[in-house]
Structure 1
Amino acid sequence: MLARPRQLFADLGSSAIERGLAAPRLSQFYEDMIRAGSVAGPELKKHLPYLSLCALPDDSGTAPPIVYAGRLSSQVQLFGSVWSEQPGEALVTPDPELERAAAAGYLSALESGTYYGYGRTGIRLGGRMHDVAYERLIMPLRPRPDSPVRMLAYFGVIQALVPQGPAPA
Protein backbone atom coordinates (compact mmCIF):
# COMPACT_ATOMS: atom_id res chain seq x y z
CA MET A 1 0.00 0.00 0.00
CA LEU A 2 1.31 3.45 -0.84
CA ALA A 3 1.62 5.94 1.98
CA ARG A 4 -0.15 9.22 1.39
CA PRO A 5 0.71 12.46 3.16
CA ARG A 6 -1.76 13.46 5.88
CA GLN A 7 -2.29 16.81 4.20
CA LEU A 8 -2.04 17.95 0.63
CA PHE A 9 -2.86 21.43 -0.60
CA ALA A 10 -2.16 22.10 -4.27
CA ASP A 11 -2.58 25.46 -6.00
CA LEU A 12 -4.05 24.57 -9.40
CA GLY A 13 -4.48 28.15 -10.62
CA SER A 14 -7.53 29.74 -12.19
CA SER A 15 -6.51 28.47 -15.62
CA ALA A 16 -7.71 25.02 -14.48
CA ILE A 17 -11.20 26.50 -14.06
CA GLU A 18 -10.99 28.16 -17.47
CA ARG A 19 -10.04 24.78 -19.01
CA GLY A 20 -13.20 23.20 -17.56
CA LEU A 21 -11.52 21.16 -14.84
CA ALA A 22 -13.51 22.54 -11.88
CA ALA A 23 -16.92 21.56 -10.54
CA PRO A 24 -19.66 23.22 -12.64
CA ARG A 25 -21.22 25.31 -9.85
CA LEU A 26 -17.79 26.54 -8.73
CA SER A 27 -16.95 27.42 -12.34
CA GLN A 28 -20.16 29.42 -12.68
CA PHE A 29 -19.35 31.41 -9.54
CA TYR A 30 -15.85 32.11 -10.87
CA GLU A 31 -17.18 33.28 -14.25
CA ASP A 32 -19.84 35.49 -12.65
CA MET A 33 -17.35 37.15 -10.32
CA ILE A 34 -14.80 37.72 -13.09
CA ARG A 35 -17.53 39.43 -15.14
CA ALA A 36 -18.50 41.51 -12.10
CA GLY A 37 -14.91 42.54 -11.40
CA SER A 38 -15.11 40.91 -7.94
CA VAL A 39 -17.75 43.47 -6.94
CA ALA A 40 -20.35 42.08 -4.54
CA GLY A 41 -23.51 42.74 -6.53
CA PRO A 42 -26.53 40.89 -7.91
CA GLU A 43 -24.32 38.16 -9.43
CA LEU A 44 -23.23 37.15 -5.95
CA LYS A 45 -26.75 36.56 -4.59
CA LYS A 46 -27.46 33.27 -6.39
CA HIS A 47 -24.20 31.82 -5.09
CA LEU A 48 -24.59 32.83 -1.42
CA PRO A 49 -26.02 29.49 -0.22
CA TYR A 50 -22.78 27.79 -1.38
CA LEU A 51 -20.34 30.41 -0.12
CA SER A 52 -18.56 31.27 3.05
CA LEU A 53 -17.57 34.91 3.40
CA CYS A 54 -14.40 35.51 5.35
CA ALA A 55 -12.69 38.44 6.98
CA LEU A 56 -9.33 39.41 5.53
CA PRO A 57 -6.41 37.24 6.66
CA ASP A 58 -4.00 38.52 9.28
CA ASP A 59 -0.54 37.40 10.32
CA SER A 60 -1.81 34.75 12.78
CA GLY A 61 -0.92 31.88 10.44
CA THR A 62 -4.49 30.58 10.36
CA ALA A 63 -7.39 30.89 7.95
CA PRO A 64 -9.41 34.08 8.48
CA PRO A 65 -12.63 33.96 10.51
CA ILE A 66 -15.84 33.16 8.65
CA VAL A 67 -18.46 35.90 8.95
CA TYR A 68 -21.11 34.08 6.89
CA ALA A 69 -21.52 30.38 6.09
CA GLY A 70 -24.14 29.57 3.45
CA ARG A 71 -26.49 26.71 4.31
CA LEU A 72 -25.09 24.62 1.41
CA SER A 73 -21.44 25.61 1.91
CA SER A 74 -18.82 22.91 2.29
CA GLN A 75 -18.11 24.00 5.87
CA VAL A 76 -21.77 23.55 6.85
CA GLN A 77 -21.78 20.17 5.07
CA LEU A 78 -18.78 19.10 7.15
CA PHE A 79 -19.39 20.73 10.53
CA GLY A 80 -23.18 21.09 10.58
CA SER A 81 -25.75 23.83 10.84
CA VAL A 82 -25.42 24.02 14.64
CA TRP A 83 -21.76 24.99 14.18
CA SER A 84 -22.68 27.62 11.57
CA GLU A 85 -25.32 29.24 13.78
CA GLN A 86 -23.09 30.01 16.75
CA PRO A 87 -24.09 33.41 18.10
CA GLY A 88 -21.68 36.22 18.71
CA GLU A 89 -18.26 35.67 17.24
CA ALA A 90 -17.04 34.93 13.74
CA LEU A 91 -16.71 31.23 12.95
CA VAL A 92 -13.59 29.11 12.74
CA THR A 93 -13.64 25.44 11.87
CA PRO A 94 -13.26 23.11 14.87
CA ASP A 95 -9.96 21.77 13.51
CA PRO A 96 -6.97 24.05 14.36
CA GLU A 97 -4.61 22.00 12.17
CA LEU A 98 -6.89 22.51 9.16
CA GLU A 99 -7.05 26.25 9.92
CA ARG A 100 -3.26 26.51 9.81
CA ALA A 101 -2.90 24.36 6.69
CA ALA A 102 -5.57 26.29 4.77
CA ALA A 103 -4.18 29.76 5.54
CA ALA A 104 -1.84 30.01 2.54
CA GLY A 105 -4.73 29.84 0.05
CA TYR A 106 -6.39 32.90 1.59
CA LEU A 107 -3.18 34.90 1.48
CA SER A 108 -2.64 33.84 -2.13
CA ALA A 109 -6.15 35.00 -3.08
CA LEU A 110 -5.57 38.36 -1.46
CA GLU A 111 -2.21 38.82 -3.20
CA SER A 112 -3.04 37.48 -6.66
CA GLY A 113 -6.80 38.02 -6.89
CA THR A 114 -7.86 34.37 -7.05
CA TYR A 115 -6.85 31.07 -5.51
CA TYR A 116 -8.11 27.78 -6.92
CA GLY A 117 -6.75 24.57 -5.54
CA TYR A 118 -7.26 21.07 -4.25
CA GLY A 119 -7.01 19.96 -0.65
CA ARG A 120 -6.92 16.60 1.03
CA THR A 121 -6.59 16.27 4.78
CA GLY A 122 -7.79 14.43 7.83
CA ILE A 123 -10.45 16.00 10.04
CA ARG A 124 -12.25 14.83 13.16
CA LEU A 125 -16.03 14.67 12.82
CA GLY A 126 -18.25 13.23 15.53
CA GLY A 127 -15.26 11.81 17.38
CA ARG A 128 -13.99 9.93 14.33
CA MET A 129 -11.24 10.76 11.86
CA HIS A 130 -12.26 11.26 8.23
CA ASP A 131 -10.24 11.80 5.10
CA VAL A 132 -11.74 14.72 3.14
CA ALA A 133 -10.83 15.77 -0.40
CA TYR A 134 -12.12 19.02 -1.84
CA GLU A 135 -11.56 21.74 -4.36
CA ARG A 136 -11.70 25.34 -3.22
CA LEU A 137 -11.92 28.71 -4.87
CA ILE A 138 -11.13 31.84 -2.88
CA MET A 139 -11.82 35.24 -4.44
CA PRO A 140 -11.62 38.78 -3.05
CA LEU A 141 -14.82 40.83 -2.84
CA ARG A 142 -15.27 44.57 -2.83
CA PRO A 143 -18.48 46.61 -2.38
CA ARG A 144 -17.77 48.91 -5.35
CA PRO A 145 -15.34 48.81 -8.27
CA ASP A 146 -13.25 51.65 -6.81
CA SER A 147 -13.12 50.34 -3.23
CA PRO A 148 -10.49 48.10 -1.64
CA VAL A 149 -11.10 44.44 -0.98
CA ARG A 150 -13.26 44.04 2.14
CA MET A 151 -13.64 40.26 2.42
CA LEU A 152 -12.93 36.95 0.72
CA ALA A 153 -15.48 34.55 -0.75
CA TYR A 154 -14.75 30.85 -0.30
CA PHE A 155 -16.46 28.28 -2.53
CA GLY A 156 -15.62 24.70 -1.59
CA VAL A 157 -16.78 21.48 -3.22
CA ILE A 158 -16.29 18.25 -1.28
CA GLN A 159 -15.10 15.50 -3.61
CA ALA A 160 -14.78 12.69 -1.05
CA LEU A 161 -15.39 12.16 2.66
CA VAL A 162 -14.18 8.78 3.93
CA PRO A 163 -14.34 7.63 7.58
CA GLN A 164 -11.07 6.21 8.93
CA GLY A 165 -11.05 3.39 11.47
CA PRO A 166 -13.93 2.05 13.53
CA ALA A 167 -16.91 4.15 14.55
CA PRO A 168 -16.83 5.42 18.14
CA ALA A 169 -18.64 3.17 20.59
Structure 2
Amino acid sequence: MLTRPNALFSEIGTQAIERGLADPVLSAFFETVMTAPRGEVQQGLKPYLPYLSLCSDKMKDGAPPPIFYVGRESGQRTLFGEDWATPTSPASGLRTPDPDLERASAEGYGKALDGTPYYGYARTEVHVNGETFEVAFERLIVAVRPALQSSVRFCAYFGVIQDLRRTS
Protein backbone atom coordinates (compact mmCIF):
# COMPACT_ATOMS: atom_id res chain seq x y z
CA MET A 1 0.00 0.00 0.00
CA LEU A 2 1.30 3.42 -0.95
CA THR A 3 1.42 5.91 1.89
CA ARG A 4 2.15 9.59 1.83
CA PRO A 5 2.79 12.15 4.55
CA ASN A 6 -0.17 14.09 5.94
CA ALA A 7 1.52 17.38 5.07
CA LEU A 8 3.91 18.42 2.35
CA PHE A 9 5.31 21.94 2.14
CA SER A 10 7.90 22.30 -0.56
CA GLU A 11 9.75 25.35 -1.82
CA ILE A 12 9.86 25.32 -5.60
CA GLY A 13 11.64 28.63 -6.15
CA THR A 14 10.66 31.65 -8.19
CA GLN A 15 12.43 30.24 -11.27
CA ALA A 16 9.31 28.12 -11.79
CA ILE A 17 7.24 31.31 -12.03
CA GLU A 18 9.69 32.77 -14.53
CA ARG A 19 9.41 29.59 -16.62
CA GLY A 20 5.62 29.90 -16.80
CA LEU A 21 4.82 27.03 -14.44
CA ALA A 22 2.71 29.03 -11.97
CA ASP A 23 -0.87 30.26 -11.98
CA PRO A 24 -1.12 33.11 -14.56
CA VAL A 25 -2.49 35.72 -12.13
CA LEU A 26 0.10 34.79 -9.50
CA SER A 27 2.76 35.10 -12.20
CA ALA A 28 1.52 38.55 -13.23
CA PHE A 29 1.57 39.66 -9.58
CA PHE A 30 5.14 38.40 -9.16
CA GLU A 31 6.24 40.21 -12.33
CA THR A 32 4.60 43.43 -11.15
CA VAL A 33 6.24 43.32 -7.73
CA MET A 34 9.67 42.39 -9.08
CA THR A 35 9.71 45.06 -11.79
CA ALA A 36 8.13 47.93 -9.83
CA PRO A 37 10.49 50.84 -9.30
CA ARG A 38 11.83 50.91 -5.74
CA GLY A 39 9.32 52.50 -3.44
CA GLU A 40 6.43 52.23 -5.90
CA VAL A 41 5.24 48.71 -5.07
CA GLN A 42 2.06 50.01 -3.44
CA GLN A 43 0.54 51.06 -6.78
CA GLY A 44 1.38 47.69 -8.28
CA LEU A 45 -0.43 45.86 -5.49
CA LYS A 46 -3.80 47.52 -6.07
CA PRO A 47 -5.07 45.34 -8.96
CA TYR A 48 -4.11 42.19 -7.02
CA LEU A 49 -5.58 43.10 -3.61
CA PRO A 50 -8.65 40.88 -4.11
CA TYR A 51 -6.32 37.84 -4.35
CA LEU A 52 -3.91 38.76 -1.56
CA SER A 53 -3.67 38.32 2.15
CA LEU A 54 -1.44 40.87 3.83
CA CYS A 55 0.28 40.34 7.15
CA SER A 56 2.76 42.05 9.40
CA ASP A 57 6.47 41.38 9.48
CA LYS A 58 6.44 40.19 13.09
CA MET A 59 6.91 36.46 13.59
CA LYS A 60 6.67 35.08 17.15
CA ASP A 61 7.28 31.59 18.48
CA GLY A 62 7.80 30.08 15.02
CA ALA A 63 4.35 31.14 13.79
CA PRO A 64 3.61 33.14 10.63
CA PRO A 65 2.94 36.85 11.14
CA PRO A 66 -0.63 37.91 11.98
CA ILE A 67 -2.84 38.68 8.98
CA PHE A 68 -4.39 42.15 8.78
CA TYR A 69 -6.10 41.98 5.35
CA VAL A 70 -7.81 39.13 3.48
CA GLY A 71 -8.83 39.81 -0.14
CA ARG A 72 -12.33 38.83 -1.22
CA GLU A 73 -10.98 36.35 -3.80
CA SER A 74 -8.05 35.08 -1.73
CA GLY A 75 -7.39 31.41 -1.20
CA GLN A 76 -7.45 31.89 2.58
CA ARG A 77 -10.97 33.37 2.48
CA THR A 78 -12.11 30.47 0.28
CA LEU A 79 -10.64 27.90 2.66
CA PHE A 80 -11.46 29.40 6.05
CA GLY A 81 -14.70 31.20 5.23
CA GLU A 82 -16.24 34.63 5.30
CA ASP A 83 -16.76 34.68 9.08
CA TRP A 84 -13.07 34.01 9.68
CA ALA A 85 -11.98 36.66 7.17
CA THR A 86 -14.11 39.41 8.73
CA PRO A 87 -13.42 39.21 12.47
CA THR A 88 -15.22 41.35 15.00
CA SER A 89 -11.95 42.53 16.58
CA PRO A 90 -9.23 42.69 13.88
CA ALA A 91 -6.79 44.75 15.98
CA SER A 92 -4.69 41.72 16.98
CA GLY A 93 -4.61 40.27 13.46
CA LEU A 94 -5.92 36.97 12.21
CA ARG A 95 -4.48 33.52 12.65
CA THR A 96 -5.45 30.53 10.58
CA PRO A 97 -7.81 28.25 12.52
CA ASP A 98 -5.43 25.27 12.32
CA PRO A 99 -2.30 25.44 14.55
CA ASP A 100 -0.59 22.64 12.59
CA LEU A 101 -1.02 24.60 9.37
CA GLU A 102 0.41 27.67 11.11
CA ARG A 103 3.58 25.82 12.11
CA ALA A 104 4.04 24.13 8.73
CA SER A 105 3.62 27.34 6.74
CA ALA A 106 5.90 29.58 8.82
CA GLU A 107 9.15 28.82 7.00
CA GLY A 108 7.95 30.52 3.80
CA TYR A 109 7.20 33.75 5.66
CA GLY A 110 10.60 33.67 7.31
CA LYS A 111 12.38 33.33 3.97
CA ALA A 112 10.35 36.18 2.47
CA LEU A 113 11.14 38.41 5.45
CA ASP A 114 14.82 37.53 5.05
CA GLY A 115 14.64 39.11 1.58
CA THR A 116 13.97 36.24 -0.83
CA PRO A 117 10.50 35.83 -2.34
CA TYR A 118 9.14 32.41 -1.45
CA TYR A 119 7.26 30.31 -4.01
CA GLY A 120 6.17 26.82 -3.13
CA TYR A 121 3.59 24.08 -3.19
CA ALA A 122 1.72 22.57 -0.27
CA ARG A 123 -0.64 19.67 0.24
CA THR A 124 -2.01 19.17 3.71
CA GLU A 125 -4.98 18.41 5.88
CA VAL A 126 -6.66 21.45 7.40
CA HIS A 127 -9.13 21.48 10.26
CA VAL A 128 -11.81 24.17 9.98
CA ASN A 129 -14.95 24.43 12.10
CA GLY A 130 -14.82 20.79 13.17
CA GLU A 131 -14.34 19.49 9.63
CA THR A 132 -11.23 18.15 7.93
CA PHE A 133 -10.22 19.10 4.41
CA GLU A 134 -7.36 18.07 2.19
CA VAL A 135 -6.08 21.08 0.30
CA ALA A 136 -3.36 21.51 -2.32
CA PHE A 137 -2.14 24.99 -3.17
CA GLU A 138 0.68 27.01 -4.60
CA ARG A 139 1.78 30.10 -2.72
CA LEU A 140 3.95 33.13 -3.22
CA ILE A 141 5.06 35.24 -0.28
CA VAL A 142 6.94 38.49 -0.76
CA ALA A 143 8.00 41.11 1.78
CA VAL A 144 7.37 44.66 0.59
CA ARG A 145 7.69 48.24 1.83
CA PRO A 146 4.81 50.56 0.95
CA ALA A 147 7.26 53.40 0.11
CA LEU A 148 11.01 53.68 -0.42
CA GLN A 149 11.68 55.55 2.84
CA SER A 150 9.19 53.51 4.85
CA SER A 151 10.46 51.73 7.92
CA VAL A 152 7.33 49.57 7.77
CA ARG A 153 7.15 46.43 5.70
CA PHE A 154 4.63 43.64 5.38
CA CYS A 155 4.20 40.28 3.69
CA ALA A 156 1.94 39.85 0.68
CA TYR A 157 0.66 36.28 0.39
CA PHE A 158 -0.82 35.06 -2.90
CA GLY A 159 -2.21 31.55 -2.57
CA VAL A 160 -3.97 29.58 -5.30
CA ILE A 161 -5.98 26.55 -4.25
CA GLN A 162 -5.56 23.77 -6.79
CA ASP A 163 -7.57 21.07 -5.05
CA LEU A 164 -9.89 21.12 -2.04
CA ARG A 165 -11.73 18.07 -0.68
CA ARG A 166 -13.65 17.54 2.52
CA THR A 167 -12.45 14.31 4.14
CA SER A 168 -14.67 14.36 7.25
Could you state the TM-score of these two structures normalised by the residue count of structure 1?
Answer: 0.91
Unaligned runs of 5+ in 1: none
Q: 2:132 touches 2:166 (CA, 8 Å); kept in 1? A: yes
Q: Which residue in 1 is equivalent to 2:30?
A: 30
Would you say 1:18 and 2:21 are equivalent positions? Answer: no
Would you say 1:141 and 2:124 are equivalent positions? Answer: no
Would you say 1:115 and 2:113 are equivalent positions? Answer: no
Alignment of 1:20-169 (within 5 A): 20-36=20-36, 37=38, 39-88=40-89, 89-148=92-151, 150-165=153-168
CA shift for structure 1 position 146: 4.0
CA shift for structure 1 position 149: 5.4
CA shift for structure 1 position 69: 0.4
Please, what is the CA RMSD of the aligned residues?
A: 1.5
**CA, structure 1 residues 106+97, in 2 after alignment: closer, same or farther (shift >3 Å)?**
same
Distance in 2 between residues matched to 1:21 and 1:105, nearest whole Å: 19
Read off the aligned partner of 1:65 and give its amino acid letter. Answer: P
CA shift for structure 1 position 113: 2.5
Read off the aligned partner of 1:45 and give its amino acid letter. Answer: K
Distance in 1 between residues matched to 2:73 and 2:39, nearest whole Å: 21
Distance in 2 between residues matched to 1:148 and 1:64, nearest whole Å: 17
Read off the aligned partner of 2:7 and give its amino acid letter. Answer: Q
Distance in 1 between residues matched to 2:88 and 2:144, nearest whole Å: 24
Q: 2:54 touches 2:154 (CA, 8 Å); kept in 1? A: yes
CA shift for structure 1 position 40: 3.3
Q: 1:38 touches 1:141 (CA, 8 Å); kept in 2? A: no
Work out the percentage of aligned pairs sharing the same amino acid.
50
Read off the aligned partner of 2:67 and give its amino acid letter. Answer: I
Could you state the TM-score of these two structures normalised by the residue count of structure 2?
Answer: 0.92
Distance in 2 between residues matched to 1:20 and 1:73, nearest whole Å: 21
Q: 1:141 touches 1:152 (CA, 8 Å); kept in 2? A: yes
Unaligned runs of 5+ in 2: none
